[in-house]
Homo-oligomer: A and B are copies of this chain.
Amino acid sequence: MSEEFKPISENISASSSIQVNPYGPHPGDFLSNVGNFQLIESTLREGEQFANAFFSTETKIEIAKALDDFGVDYIELTSPVASEQSRRDCEAICKLGLKAKILTHIRCHMDDARVAVETGVDGVDVVIGTSQFLRKFSHGKDMNYIAQSAIEVIEFVKSKGIEIRFSSEDSFRSDLVDLLNIYRTVDKIGVNRVGIADTVGCANPRQVYELVRTLKSVVNCDIECHFHNDTGCAIANAYTALEGGARLIDVSVLGIGERNGITPLGGLMARMIAADRDYVLSKYKVHKLRDIENLVAEAVQVNIPFNNPITGFCAFTHKAGIHAKAILANPSTYEILSPADFGLTRYIHFANRLTGWNAIKSRVDQLNLHLTDEQCKEVTNKIKKLGDVRQLNIDDVDSIIKDFHADLTTPRVRPTTHDQGLPKIPHTLEELDEPEEKRTKTN
């Protein structure tokens, strides 16, 4: 073939290399905030709308303190008009003197606003449905009414000297012109943030990018985004929103919220570290992530999903032989995240039929035994053989290795008889050494 291939530079240091990615954060994104974002942590608001959530005052305070210690920029709380205790809990958390700013989340009503500003919060997040669905089936108001009530509530909250955010609800099924009109209106009055909310989880990344970019050209204030996870895009949508110029992302621990929830704190941390590790580590105590997730998981009685980013039980487990070999040579080969950043460790899964001799060799070394490469390949074949007939554990592999090592020095007498049950599943190396057809058959 005629083309001449020119491999690019090979000099990579393992430490710097994790982020190496020829595409990088998009160079054309002069508006991108992937290295300059803030978190609005909503476990105590959106998260309280999770089916299993009932947070006592003590639990709310424990979660708020843990999130504050983690370094979230804002903590959002359930509306004080939701219930009497909700109001008292809001007041209690405001009195904790946390570093994070405390927000509460209300409907676009003066009734709600009057209660909210008395709780001691640092800001109020106002939301109203703007989609044709919500206007028709929820509050039944038109855009003129929405604008008028927004103006009234915003000016009232501003008069109290605290932060105000105005968000539409179900933004991705709202009319674009309606949206831009109302956002421009509230921006002119002067809000701290406008919010885009994918309330139903219908948005996809390129839609998000376009809407944020468009809105960015209409308002001067910061843009906050809220993404539900019904179609599994909440993390990617949040990342793409930041690329488009959004500044703040709503998250909750494990993503708990209405239905199957919103952008999860941990998953977003994984995505943002892959984009700008230095920024994330300078701002957030990501090594506390596991404790915070366990705290909330226990409070709402769920298990950490097996496939959870970062803290899933196998997020840093490498199994196939080809993966294990390369990981042993350089972890960056198959890891974009460093488990050490999260106080976690990598695991190389060698007790299975997909294992390779490089992984077994490293186990042999761990056992402080000495085998040549050829001997490692031989014992690896024995391990793969047993791995073909049943699930292996580490003890299985270790005993196979140790027996093999022992045989090299002191050959044993093999038993000469076997029970005649067939098909027979071997559970010992001696059985494995029998001719295969005598042992078992398939189809």
Contacts and interface: CB of A to CB of B under 8 A. Distances in A.
Interface stretch (A35-43, A80-88, A361-369, A403-411): A80-88
Interface stretch (A62-70, A114-122, A160-168, A347-355): A347-355
Contacts of A275: 204
A82 B380 CA distance: 12
A110 interface: no
Interface string A295-331: 0000000110111110011111111101101100110
Contact of A178 (B7, B10, B17, B209): B7
A292 to B, nearest CB: 16
Contacts of A134: 326, 333
A172 B325 CA distance: 20
Interface string A82-116: 11111011011001000000000001000000000
A129 B78 CA distance: 49
A422 B147 CA distance: 48
A142 B7 contact: yes
A335 interface: yes
Interface residues of A, number: 142
Contacts of A336: 200-202, 230-231
A137 interface: yes
B211 A1 contact: no
Given A326-B137, A329-B138, A436-B84, A51 B349 contact: yes
A375 to B, nearest CB: 19
A51 to B, nearest CB: 4
A54 B391 CA distance: 6
Q: Of residues A54, A133, A185, which shows the largest number of chain B Cβ atoms within 10 Å of its Cβ?
A: A133
A136 interface: yes
Given A231-B235, A330-B133, A307 B255 contact: yes
B23 A353 contact: no
A83 B384 contact: yes
Interface in A1-59: 1, 3-10, 12, 17, 20-23, 26, 48-52, 54, 57
Interface of A: 1, 3-10, 12, 17, 20-23, 26, 48-52, 54, 57, 78, 82-86, 88-89, 91-92, 95, 107, 129, 132-138, 142-144, 146-148, 151, 170, 172-178, 181-182, 184-185, 199-207, 209-211, 229-237, 239-240, 243, 254-256, 258-261, 264, 267-268, 270-271, 274-275, 302-303, 305-309, 312-320, 322-323, 325-326, 329-330, 332-337, 349, 352-354, 384-385, 387-391, 436, 442-443
